[in-house]
Every structure is written in C-alpha cells, then in structure tokens.
Amino acid sequence: MTVHFVVPYYLDPRYLFELIDSVRKQTNDDWLLTVVDDQYPGTAAADYIADLADSRISYQRNEQNLGATANVCHCLTLGKGHSVAVLGADDAVEPNYVDVVKRAFDRHPNAVMVHPGVIVVDEHSRPTTSLADRIKDFAGRSAWKHAELNGETALRSLMNGNWLYVPAMAFRQDAIERAHIPSEFKSIADLGWVTDILLREGTMALDPTPAFRYRRHSASHSSEHAKGTIRFQEEETFYLDAARRLEAKGWTAAARAARLHVFSRLHAMRSAVGALSTGDMKRTMALARYGVRWGK
C-alpha cells in the first residue's frame, strides 16, 4: 500500500530540502517521492536529490512553467502507489505520516481519501496559528468528531466552510484516476477535486493524529491570492456549480450549504473591511458584493 508523495516545486529550495528530509525520516519505508520542478531558476533541487542517491526519490522538470495550480493538477496524474499525496513544497511530514495514512485506509475500506492531523508552522518551522487556522478549526469542529464521513455529510460540512488542509491529505490513486481535476480555478481547485471525488464515490477518513506540518506564511500562494477579488469570483462560481451538482445527486442539505457558502462570504466581508482601511473604495465595494449575495 505504497504512499506516493508528489511535490510541485517552485520556491526557496531550503523549504524543499526540509520536506525531503522529513519524508526520508518516515518510520514506514513504503513510500515514493517525486519532485516536479516548474522551471524554478537554478539546479539546487536537482543537485540535492542527485546527491542523496535515494532510489525512492525521483526528480523531473517541466518543459515549461505551468503555474502553481496547473502544476498541482499535473502532479495528481503522476501517482504510482495505492495513494498519492500532493504536498506543498514548503510543507513537511511527521515521521508517522505513512503509518497514519495506511492505518486509516485499512480501518476504512470505503475511504477514498484520508485527512490526518495537522500542525501549522511558520517560516522558521515553529508551531503557530492564525485567524485562518482558527476559522478552519471552528468550521470543522463537528466533522472532526467522526472517524469517517460519507460523501453527503462531508460535502455538507465543506460547502458551509472549507476546513481542509488539502496538501496534508492522501487520495486513493484509483479514485484520482476517475475524477475530474478542475484546473480552471486558482484558489479553490483542491476543494474542487475533493468535491468531485466524493460526488462520485467513497468516504473521507479522518485521523486527528498529528502527521503533517502545514507552513503558514505571508509569501504563500494562497495568502497572496486572498488579497484580491478574483478569489471570491472563483469561489462564487464554484459553489453555485457545486450546488447544482449536489441537488442533482439528491443531497439537498449540501446543495443548500453550497448556495449559502457562509464562510466564503464572511471572508469576503472581512476582506472588504481590510480594503476599506486602506481607502480602496472600489475594491471594498467589490468585495462587499460577494459577501452579501448568494445563489438561489
């Protein structure tokens, strides 16, 4: 039941080196690691991996720069084991990650994905927290009371507020192969493929055992993307499409949650307040509109 770590890479290589070292410290050796370089300048990553001479670790470089979201979607197609985990190149795993994931899949044979416990760290790898993380904790508080969620229950919770740390998750490879991986969204593509998988089949297994380190810092792609209005345009489009698909499935409570997408709209209102504090009235009004409207 091999876990294949695939890493889309385009950032300061010192974080990548930390990630690679964390994978090599796994207490269970049933893993593979592939680093997918999206044309980052220099050869630091390739040189580091070559020097390790570890047959479980491979390196490939895209012929052209795909961009963050497209490279993540590309990485999802490269899995070779029972399950694939597409890690952020600035994240890391605890030594027990493979064991936690494999045990969860063993306990829950219908699971198509596993979400282990997460430790949030800062740029210096020190445990930290932020408002975003506290909101995720709040949004997922009911879900994390269960060891397994069926698709309808998981999506009803997620459409209300996205509490996932998707880079921490492992996905069953056969489920990924059957899924539609949406590349049209930048900020919410990961929730898109989770939604597509759960609409098609299976359950989500949850194990709160800390097994993953998620790096929260101001230079992250998600942090930068949250500053503009494009994020909320994409989220509105995504949630309304999800509502239609959920309604067609007969999952009416989840569809209602998608139409309301409460936490997304609250985020837009909070961003509007931030824009107002800078005197940017145009952006304030644009963000506020996303906060007050919802799909019917």
Q: What average pLDDT score do residues 227-238 get?
A: 82
pLDDT of 24 > 50? The answer is: yes
One DSSP character per residue, 36-66 reads EE-S-SSSHHHHHHHHHT-TTEEEEE-SS--
Q: How far is 10 from 122, CA to CA, in rounded Å? A: 18
pLDDT band at 144 (very low <50, low <70, confident <90, very high): very high
One DSSP character per residue, 110-162 reads TEEEEEEEEEEE-TTS-B---HHHHHHHHHTTTGGG-SEEEHHHHHHHHHH--
Q: What average pLDDT score do residues 68-91 get?
A: 94
This prediction's pTM: 0.92
Q: How far is 227 from 271, CA to CA, in rounded Å? A: 7
Q: Considering only residues 32 and 289, tell me which one the structure prediction assigns the higher pLDDT.
A: 32
pLDDT band at 184 (very low <50, low <70, confident <90, very high): confident
Strands (E), the chain: 3-9, 31-37, 57-61, 83-86, 92-93, 111-121, 148-150, 170-172, 203-215
Q: How far is 28 from 39, CA to CA, in rounded Å? A: 31
At residue 269, the pLDDT reads 78
Q: What average pLDDT score do residues 192-214 get?
A: 97
pLDDT band at 273 (very low <50, low <70, confident <90, very high): confident
pLDDT band at 270 (very low <50, low <70, confident <90, very high): confident
Q: Name the 3-class secondary structure at 294.
A: coil
- Spatial neighbors of 287 by CB under 8 A, at least 6 apart, are 229, 232, 268, 269, 271, 272, 275
Domain ranges across the chain? 3-223, 228-292
Q: Are 30 and 102 in contact (CB under 8 A)?
A: yes
Note the pLDDT tens digit of each residue in 91-142. Answer: 999 999 999 999 999 999 999 999 999 999 999 999 999 988 999 999 999 9
Q: Which fold has domain 3-223?
A: Spore Coat Polysaccharide Biosynthesis Protein SpsA; Chain A (3.90.550)
Q: What average pLDDT score do residues 209-236 get?
A: 75
At residue 227, the pLDDT reads 56
pLDDT of 183 > 80? The answer is: no
Q: Are 171 and 192 in contact (CB under 8 A)?
A: no
Q: Considering only residues 223 and 57, tell me which one the structure prediction assigns the higher pLDDT.
A: 57
Please work out, in degrees rounded to the nearest 5, the angle formed at the alpha carbon of residue 54 by the alpha carbons of 48 and 55: 130
In degrees to the nearest 10, what's the CA dihedral of 15, 21, 24, 27? -100
Q: Are 28 and 98 in contact (CB under 8 A)?
A: yes
* CA proximity to 120, closest of 137, 103, 104: 137
pLDDT of 225 > 50? The answer is: no
Q: Are 184 and 230 in contact (CB under 8 A)?
A: no
Exposed, middle or buried by CB within 10 Å (0-12, 13-18, 19+), for 24?
middle
